[in-house]
Amino acid sequence: MRAELVAQVAKPSASRVGAHTGRVTLAAVLAFSLAGVATGGAVAATGVLTPSSSVVISMEEMQTVSFPGTEILGAPLVISGSGETVVELGPRPDGATALSLYVGCIDAGRYEIAIDDLSESFVECDKGSGDADSLGGSSSQLELGAEQPQTLIVHGASADRYVVWVAWSAPPVTPGSSQAQVDALADGVVKREEYVAGLDRYIACMEASGWSVNVIDREAKVIDYRIEAIAGADDLRCYAAEFVKLDMAWQISQE
């Protein structure tokens, strides 16, 4: 597994396709230990996430996840498996308001994500680690309510392998929506033209900040695009202001 992951490390490309996706490579994931390596068949892996000292993630040094400005509370847990993986979350550290999560696809497939058996999101990859461009996968911030969560569960088909990177975190306060995004959401229905217009505003915001965004397939139901590098705070600001709510509402409507 370790040799295979090292062999698949690629340039820091970027994509946001499917629910709660992000920009990821596996360049730094090997700084942490991998546990629960699957050897085939239905394997239920388990892990324990425990708090320790506070650190701040560096986007320059840690390109495995896309959490700009997020404070990571304690050491991340990295675990690999297939079938169902259960992470016992343990006590929540002071100040933690979210779980920062990255699910990377070793095999192509769909991986469901839940907290305490309540479905949160999913990751779907049409290619696994055999893809020369990247491992494939997605990062997300799972916001926490007042109650103490007990478990994080990732579930895929019995033979489909994946990697989970998870940590307690305190994300930065995201910017508010632009008036254009608010207006597009006002009637509770996201039309195709509103979805595309939101993407175009996001791209314009990124380009005004000096970043290049390459649209791969504008005609796809969920538009595939790439950012030239990990854009950090600029991406967070532009995505939140112009596109995130439209993007998520549109993707949900296409399920």
Answer whether residue 6 shows pLDDT above 80: no
43-62 confidence digits (pLDDT tens)? 345 666 655 544 444 434 44
- Summarised one tens digit per residue, pLDDT across range 163-210 is 888 889 988 777 889 999 999 999 999 999 999 999 999 999 999 989
Comparing CA positions, the residue from 20, 244, 7 lying closest to residue 121 is 20
**Does residue 19 register a pLDDT over 80?**
no
Residue 128 clears pLDDT 70, i.e. is over it: no
Higher-confidence residue of 8 and 240: namely: 240
Q: 84-88 and 45-48: which strand pairing?
A: parallel
pLDDT at residue 155 in the model: 92
Strand partners, 56: 71
pLDDT for the residue numbered 92: 92
Helix ranges restricted to H, the chain: 2-7, 179-185, 192-208, 232-242, 244-253
How do residues 219-229 score in pLDDT, each as one tens digit?
Answer: 999 998 888 76
pLDDT band (50, 70, 90) for residue 18: very low
Tokens of 246: 């439209």
